[in-house]
Amino acid sequence: MRILQGQAAGKMVGRLAARSQPIARQEQKVKKIVAEIRRRGDPALRQFARRWDELGSRTVRITPGEMREAFQSVSGELMSSVRLAAENIRDFAERQKPIEWTRTRRGLAVGQLVRPLDSVGCYVPGGRYPLISTLLMTAIPAKVAGVARICVVSPNPPGELLAVADELGIDEFYRVGGAHAVAALAYGTKSIPRVDKIVGPGNSYVTAAKRLVAFDCAIDMLAGPTEVLVVAHAGEPDWIASDLVAQAEHDPDALTILITCSAKLAKAVVASARTQSDANPVARRSLKRNGCVLIASDREQAMVWANQLAPEHITVSEKDVDQVRHAGSIFVGDYSPQAAGDYVSGPNHVLPTGGAARFRAGLAVLDFVKLITVQRLSRTALRRVAPTITTLAQTEGLVAHANSVRIRCSHA
Instruction: Count Cα atoms within 13 angstroms, Cβ side, for 145.
Output: 28
Let me know if 233 is a catalytic residue: no
**209 pLDDT above the threshold of 80:** yes
Start-to-end CA distance of the chain, whole Å, equals 79
pLDDT at 21: 67
Please provide the average confidence, as pLDDT, over all residues in the chain.
95
**198 pLDDT above the threshold of 90:** yes
Same domain, 320 and 401: no
With residue 201 as reference, give the H or E element that holds it: none
pLDDT at 24: 74
pLDDT at 108: 96
| Strand bridging mode 255-260 / 313-316 | unpaired
176-197 per-position pLDDT tens digit: 999 999 999 999 999 999 999 9
**Structural domain boundaries enclosing 7:** 2-22+225-346
255: left (phi over 0), alpha (psi -120 to 50) or beta: beta
Residue 336: give its domain's CATH number: 3.40.50.1980
pLDDT at 129: 78
- Active-site hit among 160, 167, 180, 313: 313
How many domains are there within the chain?
3
Same domain, 195 and 71: yes
Same domain, 296 and 391: no
Residues above pLDDT 70, as percent of the chain: 99
Residues above pLDDT 90, as percent of the chain: 93
69-86 per-position pLDDT tens digit: 999 999 999 999 999 999
Please report the beta strands in 186-274, taking only residues with DSSP state E, as ranges in sequence order: 197-199, 218-219, 227-231, 255-260
- Structural domain contains residue 366: no
**Other C-beta atoms lying within 10 Å of the C-beta of residue 51:** 11
- Structural domain contains residue 199: yes
Same domain, 170 and 126: yes
pLDDT at 224: 85
Q: Is the separation of the CB atoms in 185 and 214 below 8 Å?
A: no
356-404 per-position pLDDT tens digit: 999 999 999 999 999 999 999 999 999 999 999 999 999 999 999 999 9
Let me know if 318 is a catalytic residue: no
Same domain, 242 and 204: no
Q: Is the separation of the CB atoms in 294 and 4 below 8 Å?
A: yes
Same domain, 33 and 146: yes
Same domain, 314 and 383: no
- Active-site hit among 66, 312, 326, 349: 312
C-alpha 9: how far from chain center: 29
pLDDT at 22: 67
pTM of structure: 0.94
